[in-house]
Amino acid sequence: MEYYPLIDLHCHILPWFDDGPSSDDEALEMARIAIQDGITDIVATPHTENGLYQNSAERVTEAVERLQRKLREENLPLRIHVGSEVRIHVDLIDNLQTSKTATYCNAKRYVLLELPASQVPLFVTDLIRELKAASIMPILAHPERNRILQAEPERLREWIKEGAIAQVTADSLAGKMGKRAQTTARHLVVNNLVHVLASDAHNSSNRKPQLREAFRLLERLTSRATARQFLLNAQTILAGNDCKRQDFAG
Ligand SMILES: [Fe+2]
């Protein structure tokens, strides 16, 4: 199966925003790597509200427009879209509804959420319910990297039944994020606990924006139909269309 076009829903490509690239040149190099891999669209998802980084929707939108202009000047055929990776916290919904925090394409339909690395806050289930009630679909970033979920991956199923979508990271599947992340990532894809694949790239050296190899791996672990569905799910999210329950089941 030839995977094209590829959409990267989780990528730290904006320079100077977080622990991603620290120059325009490196952001452009990331763009070249992505294009080479067959990626046509990247959602820029800088960290925000995690205690270290605070990146408003307004600031992200301006930087996306700026990077898009640079890509055009360099004749690089890649579309960049607005997004953010928001650490879950109690004021999250207010910040999304008032447009302080960026959702996917500022459409208030989908948002990428980051769990803490080593715990699962008690309010996660309530937060998912409240987001759904506000018609904003939560996408949980790389559950395979959370230590609690590595020990008990099936805990994710409850959140998916509540309507959350889950994103697995390409490098986790390939084993580049450690053995535990890889084992968990494989469990999640084989047991229908994740729905989209993204790079979570941070640079042009050891965390690159590449997806093609991971899609091949996903197809080997599951089926061609499942890999195809992951691609369609990314298109649905980027377009801000309604997600059908059967496509995002757990
Ligand atoms: Fe990330």
Task: With residue 236 as reference, give the H or E element that holds it.
Answer: helix 224-239
For residue 137, how far is its CA from the centre of ligand 1 (angstroms)? 18
C-alpha 45 to ligand 1 mean position (Å): 7
Ligand 1 centroid to Cα of residue 100, in Å, is 19
Q: Which two tokens stand for residue 229?
A: 């569905």
* φ and ψ of 168, to 5 deg: -100, 145
User: What's the CA-to-centroid distance between 161 and ligand 1, angstroms?
Assistant: 24
- Domains with residue ranges and CATH for the chain: 6-241 (3.20.20.140)
pLDDT digits (tens, 9 = 90+) for 85-138: 999 998 899 999 888 999 999 999 999 999 998 999 889 999 999 999 999 999
Nearest to 136, CA basis, from 93, 90, 85, 72:
93
> Residue 220: its pLDDT value, please?
96
Q: State whether residue 62 is helix, strand or coil.
A: helix
Angle at 44 between CA 213 and CA 57, to 5 degrees: 160
**Gap from CA of 188 to ligand 1 centroid (Å):** 18
User: 200 CA to middle of ligand 1, Å?
Assistant: 5
Give pLDDT < 70 ranges for the chain: 1-3
Task: Quick: pLDDT tens for 76-90.
Answer: 999 999 999 999 998
How high is the pLDDT of residue 3? 66
On whether the CB atoms of residues 167 and 196 are closer than 8 A, the answer is yes
Cα 5 to ligand 1 centroid, rounded to whole Å: 22
User: Cα(47) to centroid of ligand 1, in Å?
Assistant: 7
State the DSSP H helix or E strand holding residue 196, giving kind and residue range, or none if neither. Answer: strand 196-198
